[in-house]
Amino acid sequence: MNELRILTRRPSLIVGVAGPVLLGAWTGVPPTPDDVVACLAPLIREASKSGRYGLVVAVHPAASLPDEHVRAAIAQEMRKLDPHLACGATVIARGGFSGAAARAVASTLQLLVRTGHPEKIVSTGLEAARFVAGELAGDQAGRISVEEIAAAYDELTRDAWRDAR
């Protein structure tokens, strides 16, 4: 069973792991570079243990774009994590036009970032789970199912977003 195990939590971000999938959920609290470094460090340690991992990141529905210092911290830490990733999915779960626009902007920005793995911007945790499970199937067959990834995503976002509801 690939149940979610929380690795660390900060005011703006909670991260965990479920089998070969690393997960993160932004809480809606404005992030700081210290939060980014504190949360990505355990993901990097976990990922360096073995194999290649999938990554699922949930953006809080009310989140705004992070400032330049936070973006720089994310870029720096993700360069350390990237060699351990087989794929990644970012969930922007906003509905309507603003959600579609946010996903379009994020997808365009993603084209400018050179990662060593396939990336996808999606609107639901289930879409992310399907993408990541499909990408991991060749390397990690049978180690985690779509349902297990979706359950871990749901548990993490429920925890991260409970105070925002």
CA 129 to chain centre: 11
Number of domains in the chain: 1
Local structure of residue 2 (DSSP, 8 states) = -
pLDDT tens digits in sequence order for the chain, 165 residues long: 789 999 999 999 999 999 999 999 999 899 999 999 999 999 999 999 877 899 999 988 887 778 889 888 988 898 899 999 999 998 987 666 665 666 555 555 555 556 666 888 888 999 999 999 999 987 654 588 999 999 999 999 999 998 654
Helix axes 68-81 and 33-47, enclosed angle (nearest 10): 10
The model's pTM: 0.88
Domain with 75, as residue range(s), is 5-164
Q: Where in 42-134 does DSSP place strands (E)?
A: 53-59, 85-92, 119-122
Local structure of residue 137 (DSSP, 8 states) = H
CATH label of the domain that carries residue 47: 3.30.750.24
Place of tokens 């977003």: 161
